Amino acid sequence: MLQDNTSNQASNPAPSIILPVTDKPKVVVGMSGGIDSTAVAYLLKQQNYEVIGISMKLWQESGKDELSSHGGCCDLDALSDARRACIQMGVPFYVMNFKRSFEQEVVDYFVREYQAGRTPNPCIICNQKLKWEGLWQRSRMIGAQFIATGHYARIKKLSNGRLTIQKSLYLDKDQSYVLYSLSQENLQHTFFPLGEYKKSDVRALMADAGFTRISRKKDSEDICFVTEGTHADFIAARTKRAAKPGNFVDIHGNILGKHQGLTRYTVGQRRGLNIALGYRAYVLAIKAEKNEIVLGTYAESLKSVFIADLCKFMAVESLHESIICPVKIRYNQKPVEAKITPLNALQCRVELSHPVSGIAPGQSAVFYLEDYILGGGIISQIIS
């Protein structure tokens, strides 16, 4: 059913997908209208799976025409591209409305976290709550046995029988970080056909298959529901309340100047502070209860110990003793070796081997073993 991917060698040209030989099981492919999800549907169709393309209608800006186009993953152009691709492949296509769930589970969460002085990662929540729990539930209702997405990651079965996310073979596109919260049931019914592909190979594959327009589309990298302005502008419009200015302070509480509202800043930020202190300043902490932003030097921004909350584990059912392994504290940051110590069923203490800048409450810390995920949690408290 699932690959046990242990090889680190790539073939050339692009590898063909290796999937189970069955009597054409039904697979729902989450179609964004982009190149990756289209490639997934094409590859599975070529392997004689019964493919159903589904686009998830996630967001509509208040007061705007639902058919407006802003270049996101669920606007008119994206839905049209997904529909055309499915017609070209000869597979059925449907649009499912997840707008209410998306608003409650992802957008409201995003707003609350920023207002509380934390830096959320909405893609992780969307993956867990919408693209797996929500989509999988509806997919089962139409008789699907699996769902498939265009994430660059692999699924690995360990000797203990558990399934985990393995990094993409080509690390420049690896998306394992945003998938750490998926459950064992999620993984049992998921395909990641692009885990052994280079992005350039995917583009070439789709161009050769006749999907010229889609093969040239750019990757979507922004927050899909923030289509104009900054995330702070979005939050102000969403809450109908302008960000409240407050004080920049140093680590001793001395006032340094005025900030433009908590939602405009994140721990580790050094650009866009608009304050001259005679040294390059970094955001060290955000104190929502006082409406203060703590600034300091780079040396002061370096931290090495924090608490991860709401921890979930893949490679093991739970963690019972300390373990040393690489940890990523942001999507694009290189892993840092750390000691992970369980405090209780949901919390772990993380001690990095050396201090780093930008450990931000609200972001996820993902723990790895070799090239696969042990588990992860949300950074809740910086200790030192």
pTM: 0.89
Q: Does 74 participate in catalysis according to the annotation?
A: no
Which three-class secondary structure state does DSSP give residue 31?
coil
Annotation: binding site for ATP? 30-37, 56, 150
Q: Label residue 181 left, alpha or beta by phi (over 0 means left) and psi (-120 to 50 means alpha).
A: alpha
Judged by phi (left if over 0) then psi (alpha if -120 to 50, else beta), residue 86 lies in alpha
The DSSP output letter for 151 is -
**CA–CA distance, 328 with 345 (Å, rounded to integer):** 21
Q: How far is CA 77 from CA 74, 85, 172, 288, 384, in A?
A: 8, 12, 27, 39, 47
Are the beta carbons of 32 and 82 closer than 8 angstroms?
yes
Identify the DSSP state of 363: B
**Contact in structure between 42 and 230 (CB atoms under 8 Å):** no
Q: Is 154 helix (H, G, I), strand (E, B) or coil?
A: strand
Q: What is the pLDDT of residue 78?
A: 84
Binding site per annotation, positions: 30-37, 56, 150
8 Å CB contact between 137 and 151: no
Exposure string of 300-335, with b = 16+ CB inside 10 Å and e = fewer, is ebbbbbbbbbebbbbbeeebeeebebbbbbbeeeee
Which pLDDT value is given to residue 152? 97
The catalytic residue among 73, 74, 86, 126 is 126
Q: Residue 73 is encoded by which pair of tokens? A: 């993953």
What is the CATH code of the structural domain delimited by 243-300?
Answer: 2.30.30
Q: Which residue has the tokens 């940051």?
A: 333
pLDDT in tens, the chain (384 residues): 333 333 333 333 444 444 444 467 999 999 999 999 999 999 999 999 999 999 998 876 554 444 444 444 555 678 899 999 999 999 999 999 999 999 999 999 999 999 999 999 999 999 999 999 899 999 999 999 999 999 999 999 999 999 999 999 999 999 999 999 999 999 999 999 999 999 999 999 999 999 998 998 888 766 888 888 899 999 999 999 999 999 999 999 999 999 999 999 999 999 999 999 999 999 999 999 999 999 999 999 999 999 999 999 999 999 999 999 999 999 989 999 999 999 999 999 999 999 999 999 999 999 999 999 999 999 999 999
Helix (H) or strand (E) holding 163: strand 163-167
With helix as H, strand as E and coil as C, how does 308-336 read? Answer: EEEEEECCCCCCCCCEEEEEECCCCCCCE
Q: Could you tell me the residue ranges of all domains in the chain?
A: 26-215, 243-300, 302-382
Q: Which of 74, 84, 184 shows the shortest CA–CA distance to 126?
A: 74
* CA-closest candidate to residue 339, choices 354, 317, 356, 357: 354
Cis peptide before 15 (omega within 30 of 0): no
Catalytic residue flag (residue 348):
no
SS3 (DSSP) at 353? strand
Quote the pLDDT of residue 228.
84
Say if CB 316 and CB 145 are below 8 A apart: no
> Residue 338 has what pLDDT?
98
**C-alpha span between 8 and 266 (Å, rounded):** 36
Give a three-class secondary structure readout of 101-139: HHHHHHHHHHHHHHHCCCCCCHHHHHHHHHHHHHHHHHH
Largest CA distance in the chain: 70
What was the pLDDT predicted at 62? 52
Write down the pLDDT at residue 119: 96
Q: Please tell me the CATH superfamily of domain 302-382, with its number.
A: Translation factors (2.40.30.10)
pLDDT recorded at residue 274:
94
Neighbours of 174 (CB within 10 A): 20
What does the DSSP 8-state code read for residue 297?
A: -
What secondary structure letter does DSSP report for 242? P
Closest C-alpha to 248, from 281, 215, 211: 281
Tokens representing residue 243 in the block: 């960000």
Domain 26-215 has CATH 3.40.50.620: yes
Give me the pLDDT at residue 23, please.
67
Alpha-carbon distance 282 to 298, whole Å? 6
Q: Point out the catalytic residue in the list 73, 86, 224, 311.
A: 224
